[in-house]
Amino acid sequence: MAEIRRNEKGQFIDSGNPGGRPKGQSITKQLRRYMWEIDAETGTSRMEHMCIILWQKAMAGDLKAIGLIMDRLEGRPKQRIETDESLMQPIRVFDTDPVSLILKDKDGNEMIVDKDEMVVEVDSFLKEDYKKTS
């Protein structure tokens, strides 16, 4: 297997498509041009023919076709989200850079972690006091 090489931005150096996609040849442009061409069999553009088919399906009761037509003509209906305001709580902002952190176990024993000095003081978590610096 060949080695994969990348530049400093993480981009592949050896691309399988060095020129990229040809300019002006997008499938979207090709489809738009094709759909507005006049179809020899129907005498209408392909877009008009698709609209006729969609309309016929809607008139026959196809709910997907009806929904698609309504969404295109009227726009999708706005959706509401109901909330229970009694459950809404204000957002609490915590200090993201605390000087120290106090941890308590179920027996009420405390462990203090001093962030600035990277010191951990333990009281009653171990039988003897413990200090660790790093």
Q: What is the pLDDT of residues 110-131, one digit of tens each?
A: 767 666 655 555 554 554 444 4
- Reduce the DSSP state of residue 33 to 3 states and report it: helix
| φ, ψ dihedrals at 44, nearest 5° | -125, 170
Which residue is listed with tokens 């709580």?
89
Dihedral angle of Cα 100, 106, 109, 112, to the nearest 10 degrees: -10
pLDDT tens per residue across span 53-71: 999 999 999 999 999 999 9
Stated pTM of the model: 0.42
Q: How many CA atoms lie within 13 A of 89 on its CB side?
A: 3
CA 40 – CA 107 distance, rounded (Å):
86
